[in-house]
Amino acid sequence: MRILLVGEYSRLHNSLKEGLEALGHEVVIIANGDGFKNYPVDLKIDHSFHHPILKKFKVGFYKLTSMDLGAYEIFFKAKFHSKKLRGFDVVQLINEYALKASPSLDITFLKQLLKHNKKLFLLSCGIDYQCMRYMMDGKFNYSIMSPYLKDPSLKPLYKFQLEYLNDSFKNLHDFIYKNAQGVIATDMDYHLPLLGNRSYLGLIPNPINTDNIAYLPIEITDKIKIFHGINTSAVVKKGNEYFSKALKIIADKYKDEVEVVTTHSLPYDQYIKIYDGCHILMDQIYSFDQGFNALEAMAKGKVVFTGAEQEWLDYYGVEEDTIVINALPNVDYLVKKLSWLIENPHKILEISKNAREFVEREHYYKAISQQYLNLWDKN
């Protein structure tokens, strides 16, 4: 089978590609590499306006002409590869806005893909119209939109997310749902908003290549090391301020027992090298399930503070605080959980082993890739 994967966030499509290729299929990824993270792709379609001077020129040109030069550059780069984007049995979009040109240009691009390939599938991964409506209607106890819903003055920080509710993105959403064979969720945060939707095909967990991710047995010979990697463009949306406040308290309370390492917006390769030496990793607050970053850290045996709400516990049939630590937007709660681990280091060792076993059992990339193949074939 020939498979085209459009877009890349968090290495999901890369791991899926590795699994599909191991099963004997041909796979091509076309994407922009997701900015500073710079994930590997086969056909790169990023724009050239990252330098501050070029970015100012692009903004100024847009104010004068209403034309987004970056969007058109991405679109024409994708069009340049048009002959390489034909003859695929399956095309899968990482997200509704997979090309990231503009909603109207994305629709034009998708029409070409539909014309020259067999099946189109959509992943609900990252922000999309359906998920945004669910969050804005307050159907989650908390979500990445919670800070904005509590404080509308944060609107400038949520410009990108709120765009998904405008007419042009709604048109893109409707076009994809009309033309795709169906929609697949990658975790609980996308599964719950899709329940009852007739286009929803079900949840397939994120694929993690544990063949390439070595388990690093926990050894606590000196201080317990806690890692907090911050994406500066998403501090509010990831809830990093709760982690930062809790870690300051912990560093003061256990100054002879812990070492806290904080980084900002590192490329993926640098990021994973630095967190390899930690015992505990702070991932994100506003999620019900683990994203890709958390799962890779769990595969290495890190104790991860991330999403692990009751819906996730029930879905996988696991117990609280045995595989990951559910991260909540509550500093006192985070301090309590961190203190419990520091004062009971045997729990760190126990959770570390359980985390690796869970990822191998529920997220093994070849088994997950086979789930995709079965679903693509059936629909």
For the chain, domain boundaries: 2-207+365-378, 224-362
Domains 2-207+365-378 and 224-362 share a fold: yes
The whole-number pLDDT of residue 39 equals 79
- The more confidently predicted of residues 63 and 240 is 240
Q: Is 91 helix (H, G, I), strand (E, B) or coil?
A: strand
Length in residues, the chain: 379
Residue 63 has pLDDT above 80, yes or no: no
Average pLDDT, the chain: 92
Neighbours of 32 (CB within 10 A): 21
Q: Is 336 exposed, middle or buried (0-12, 13-18, 19+ CB in 10 A)?
A: exposed
> Is 314 in contact with 307 (CB distance < 8 Å)?
no
Which CATH code is given to the segment(s) 224-362? Answer: 3.40.50.2000
DSSP character for 206?
Answer: P
245-277 pLDDT, tens digit each: 999 999 999 999 999 999 988 887 888 888 899
Residue 295 has pLDDT above 70, yes or no: yes
CATH topology of domain 2-207+365-378: Rossmann fold (3.40.50)
The tokens describing 199, both together, are 């286009």
Q: What is the mean pLDDT of residues 154-182?
A: 95
